[in-house]
Structure 1
């Protein structure tokens, strides 16, 4: 569902300007390119195998990016209110995504289309700076996530998740948390039982 009237463009614009302040002209044109979509809990925002053509900002709700192997699901990230995200490789390269994005709650997202972002970057240095900084942050976050998975034991990863994303504990299932940590639910139960 797409809604043309919304107030959360301000949040998207605030996020953009926090990375790269821009003049009023950019603000007006960017605002005109934003649109809002609403998803019900359990609805796919992006299906694996399709090209990610949007930059997303979570106005309300919670989503996960994930992929399946033959035997299980792997969750890469959770994104709650105030977070901007995309499926980076698919968005940047405009190739089919190996990841899917799913709404874990009823979710409202402000979107910017890939073509509109490129046009804005070509016309305005501030938007190009924003995009460069966003890609840099995404790369740093991805490296941190991969490094954590490779070097941390499950118990350490669990406590790091509590420290960094504690408020999400009440909003995600234990199955999703176990998948995010790369462990079984049985292992997660053991870790949670240790105090």
Structure 2
């Protein structure tokens, strides 16, 4: 990881404002707590078994959240530039994460620490509103992901992925896509061959 430095918080703050406009004092207070981290392709942003202490906003790059079983890797989500994310259960409960986060490309991330977010929420109602809306958005996205995994056949899931995240197809490996869909690379190759 390249050393931390203060972030150009423009994109992070624009995302926050899209969920809950902040009064100028809250905006400036949050800006003072943000910092940026740079990760190289392949570098772990969060390791399994460590506590997720940050909310992340991707300024540039691409990451995946995933976990391992005894036999294989399962990818839960991909996040590209313009996305805000965290490992929700670990972040909320401040307990060790069952998931890991890895940079799939060189990635610049703006971060906000858990303790700073808690302080900002206590101090500013608009921050509390932002956090509530962010958690609601994360819960809806996770429910859709789980529902899709349980209900859909692989071919349907592949086509839904193409519709929702088509541009990412050029940026992720086929192995990662197969892992995300919960299928083997051989099955993915068959699905892709059926046009």
Both structures adopt the same fold (TM-score exceeding 0.5)? yes
Q: Which runs of 5+ in 1 are unaligned?
A: none
Could you tell me whether the CA contact under 8 Å between 2:5 and 2:37 is conserved in 1?
Answer: no
Which ranges of structure 2 fall in alignment gaps of 5 or more residues? none
2:64 aligned counterpart, secondary structure = strand
Give the TM-score normalised by the residue count of structure 2.
Answer: 0.98
Cα deviation code 1:90-146 (max 9, x no counterpart): 000000000000000000000000000000000000000000000000000000000
Q: Kindly indicate whether residue 33 of structure 2 is the aligned counterpart of residue 41 of structure 1.
A: no
TM value normalised by structure 1? 0.98
Native 8 Å contact 1:2 1:35 kept in 2: no
Check whether the contact 2:7–2:110 (CA below 8 A) recurs between aligned residues.
no
Find the residue that maps to 2:110 and give its secondary structure: strand
The match for 2:90 is 90
Displaced runs of 4+ in structure 1, greater than 3 A?
A: none
Q: Which residue number in structure 2 is paired with residue 118 of structure 1?
A: 118
Partner of 1:171: 171
Distance in 1, matches of 2:6 and 2:50, equals: 27
* 1:22 CA drift (Å): 1.0
- Structure 1 distance, partners of 2:162, 2:54, is 30
- 2:61 is matched with 61
Contact 1:64–1:78 (Cα < 8 Å) also in 2: yes
Cα distance in 2 for partners of 1:186, 1:170 equals 19
Counterpart Cα distance in 2 of 1:185 and 1:26: 48
2:5 is equivalent to residue 4 of structure 1:
yes
Alpha-carbon distance in 1 for matches of 2:138, 2:164: 16
Provide closer, same or farther for how the CA distance between residues 15 and 164 of structure 1 changes in structure 2, counting only shifts above 3 A.
Answer: same
Partner of 1:28: 28
Query: Does 2:176 align with 1:158?
Result: no
Query: Post-superposition shift, 1:177?
Result: 0.1
- Partners of 1:114 and 1:86 in 2: CA distance: 10
SS at match of 1:71: coil
Is the partner of 2:70 in helix, strand or coil? coil
Partner of 1:109: 109
Residue 5 of structure 1 deviates from its aligned partner by 4.1
**SS of the residue 1:142 aligns to:** helix
